[in-house]
Amino acid sequence: MSEEPREASSTWPWPDSLDAMIAAREFHRVLFENERVRVLDVHIQPGQSVPVHTHRWPAAVYVLSSSDFIRRDADGQLIFDSRTASPLPATPAVQWTGPLPPHSVENIGNADIHLISTELKD
């Protein structure tokens, strides 16, 4: 059986099987979820690589701790390297992110990446 995108948004082209809570469950834990929001606890230790997954909804992200990381697209192509961007924010910090298409994350720094992500569902 093929995976179909969720009916809530016919414009989301990726299957549910790539949702962070399915494809990268080891790194994401649901703290709260209802029809309007999903709050995730995200934890990536130094040297860990998170498999390809998506984040369907935009989110306010509370950064408890940060580290250098790289993000790759579904084909393994580098799309972001924190070492070449602005300096890491002092923590704690709050950031906004839009929905994220298929990507992987690798913590290449010496500290944990620990986030609380409040995803806003349509």
Asked if the structure places residue 1 within a domain, the reply is no
Asked if the structure places residue 17 within a domain, the reply is no
Asked if the structure places residue 90 within a domain, the reply is yes
CB 54 within 8 A of CB 20: yes
CATH number at 111 reads 2.60.120.10
Nearest-angstrom CA–CA distance, 77 and 80:
9
Asked if the structure places residue 46 within a domain, the reply is yes
Asked if the structure places residue 4 within a domain, the reply is no
Helices (H), 15-84: 20-23
What are the average pLDDT values for consecutive 10-residue runs of the chain, which has 122 residues? 42 96 98 98 98 98 97 97 89 96 98 98 89
pLDDT at residue 1, rounded to an integer:
35
Per residue in 36-55, pLDDT tens? 999 999 999 999 999 999 99
Tally of domains in the chain: 1
What is the token pair recorded at 108?
């290449």
pTM: 0.88
The pLDDT mean for the chain works out to: 92
Per residue in 59-69, pLDDT tens? 999 999 999 99
Nearest-angstrom CA–CA distance, 2 and 17:
10
Asked if the structure places residue 33 within a domain, the reply is yes
Cα–Cα nearest to 59, from 80, 77, 36, 75:
36
Nearest-angstrom CA–CA distance, 101 and 18:
9
With a pLDDT cut of 90, the percent of the chain lying above it is 85
pLDDT at residue 88, rounded to an integer:
83
What is the token pair recorded at 43?
């934890």
pLDDT at residue 119, rounded to an integer:
98
